[in-house]
Amino acid sequence: MSKRKRKTGTMPPPSIPPVEAGIVSPIRLVPANINKPPYALTGDPGNSISSLVRDGDEIKRMEKAGEIAAKVLFEAGSNISPGITTDKIDEIVHEMILSFDAYPSPLNYRGFPKSVCTSINEVICHGIPDSRILQEGDIVNIDVTVYHEGVHGDTSVTFPVGEISELDIRLIKETRKSMELGIEAVKPGRPVNVIGRAIERHAKRNALGVVREFIGHGIGTEFHSSLQIPHYYDPYASTEMLPGMTFTIEPMLTLGDPSAQMWSDNWTAVTRDGRRTAQFEHTILVTEHGARRLTVLDDGKAPSDLIFS
């Protein structure tokens, strides 16, 4: 992707100090009575074999899984404050998911060691909860996915930690808006690339980068199905949206170069230039008329309503 040139001195500075890995606590246990996804013991989800379109029963179950994910993310977000560790957030999320007789989908998915992803400042996604204490002025994405009655619900929000800069407020607001525009672009009969086109246009208008290495995905009976949802315009992403399809829209926007690099843990993705990034995510259902958010409470409220409201 061609990058917009900026005048020298207009680029926001890297996040200081850079995020460093802390101590990761032991894997949290899940009781034997909790229904678990196939990868829970082996870590291997296998090849995707599910249909891209959900039947009526699966949609009903996904509505419940999505509602649980939203409730858990509301609780996690309400606990975000300077001084809390991301490991404590993981504990809160883990215990609350179990209280719904559900399973935390990230746990042991391809070996991921925790029950939630916590991505701070320049961490794009898949941050592993650890002993690092959240600091005043940080921003942190909390990415919650639950497995309940055989289906998954996936949602995330980037939260401010105490008082944050005007630049970070703008980053968070415009990332959330880009997700909303991507959702508005969903209509049956359209190709999935209209989603990325809407997101990328908004990002460019606001001089923000769009991460390309990580994209939205089909979801349902599988955590990640074969359906791919780029957050940038890709003419080859031509899969037609059909009523009953379920997938995530989860744009990751950056204050600088959106190029990513991985930590040695093979999970934590960070911006190469060290500048900050934000992400928002909903699981959505394609209907006859557009998109319906599944990761909301029964009154329609979403965890993102906790911020800047």
Nearest to 86 by CA among 24, 16, 168, 169: 24
Task: Give Cβ neighbours of residue 184 (< 8 Å, ≥ 6 apart).
Answer: 198, 290, 291
CA angle 56, 220, 261 (to 5 degrees): 155
Spans of all domains in the chain: 48-306
CA angle 252, 257, 263 (to 5 degrees): 70
SS (H, E, C) the chain: CCCCCCCCCCCCCCCCCCCCCCCCCCCCCCCCCCCCCCHHHHCCCCCCCCCCECCHHHHHHHHHHHHHHHHHHHHHHHCCCCCCEHHHHHHHHHHHHHHCCCEECCCCHHHCCCCCEEEECCEEECCCCCCCECCCCCEEEEEEEEEECCEEEEEEEEEECCCCCHHHHHHHHHHHHHHHHHHHCCCCCCECHHHHHHHHHHHHHCCCEECCCCCEEECCCCCCCCCEECCCCCCCCCCECCCCEEEEECCEEECCCCCEEECCCCCCEEECCCCCEEECEEEEEECCCCEEECCCCCCCCCHHHHCCC
In the beta sheet, which residues pair with residue 125? 269
- Give the pLDDT of the chain (309 residues) as one tens digit per residue: 222 333 334 677 888 899 999 999 999 999 999 999 999 999 999 999 999 999 999 999 999 999 999 999 999 999 999 999 999 999 999 999 999 999 999 999 999 999 999 999 999 999 999 999 999 999 999 999 999 999 999 999 999 999 999 999 999 999 999 999 999 999 999 999 999 999 999 999 999 999 999 999 999 999 999 999 999 999 999 999 999 999 999 999 999 999 999 999 999 999 999 999 999 999 999 999 999 999 999 999 999 988 876
C-alpha dihedral (172, 178, 181, 182), degrees to nearest 10? -130
Residues 172 and 232: their CA atoms lie apart, in Å, by: 18
Peptide linkage before 14 cis (omega within 30 of 0): no
Residue given tokens 């001195």 in the structure block: 9
- CATH among 3.40.50.150, 1.10.10.1590, 1.25.40.10, 3.90.230.10 for 48-306: 3.90.230.10
Residues 68 and 172: their CA atoms lie apart, in Å, by: 24
Rounded to two decimals, the pTM is 0.94
